[in-house]
Amino acid sequence: MAGHSKWANIQHRKAAVDKKRAKRWTRILREVTVSARLGGGDPDANPRLRSAMDDAKSDNVPNDTIDRAIKKGTGELEGASYDEITYEGYGPGGVAIIVETMTDNKNRTVAELRHLFSRFGGSLGETNSVAWMFDRRGLFELEPGAMDEEEAMELALEIGVDDLDTEGDAIELYTSFEDYAGVREELERREIPMATKKLAMVPQSNVEVGGEEASQALALLDALEDYDDSQNVWANLTVDEESLAGEAG
């Protein structure tokens, strides 16, 4: 029985990993399709498509799958037509939230997002209700152990990074929107391992939330991340870990 239980746990973990990978691939391929529709199917003439293709290849998406996504975008193959729509709202404790989506049914998406916000104690807002609290910046998160803090500071000075964060579990580099593509190319040229490389909505300041409100806010963000039409979810949340631990106790 113990062996059966262990196998069941392995199968469960594998299913969870496969589900996460499938969701990542769906989001990456949507980006490939939309990029090709907006800027054409030639990655040399379409930087956004080139970036999306790089993301797909780094996540081991098969080349033929990438090619089909491009052809759907250029109209060579039939496929759903996705619209990029950004939604904004507030979570528990006044946390500002931005949800970037790609959807083939705007009415469905807004209704389902409104339901999710309401279910977890938040509210969907109007356009620019919270976007003004964020800046669009390039974000590069280095793989753990890629380099130490001193090496990261030296790198940041060499390649013109705007900001450097070494306080979390991983070293993060930030650039302006305009410098993102150039810095990305330079990091890739140097073969520096990166866990994340994307344009992010970075909050100008954070809201600290604790206790039950923090639990609700985290549950809302998890639900928004899991939502099928979501591409990215951004928030200005900082969790008061002590109050959260106290609530759990």
pLDDT at 197: 87
pLDDT digits (tens, 9 = 90+) for 90-128: 999 999 999 999 999 999 999 999 999 999 999 999 999
Distance CA 174, CA 162 (A): 6
pLDDT digits (tens, 9 = 90+) for 31-70: 999 999 999 999 999 988 988 998 899 889 999 999 999 9
pLDDT digits (tens, 9 = 90+) for 224-243: 999 999 999 999 998 877 76
pLDDT digits (tens, 9 = 90+) for 172-210: 999 998 999 889 989 989 999 988 888 889 999 999 998
Q: What is the pTM (predicted TM-score) of this model?
A: 0.81
Delineate the domains of the chain, giving CATH numbers in brackets.
2-74 (1.10.10.200), 82-249 (3.30.70.980)
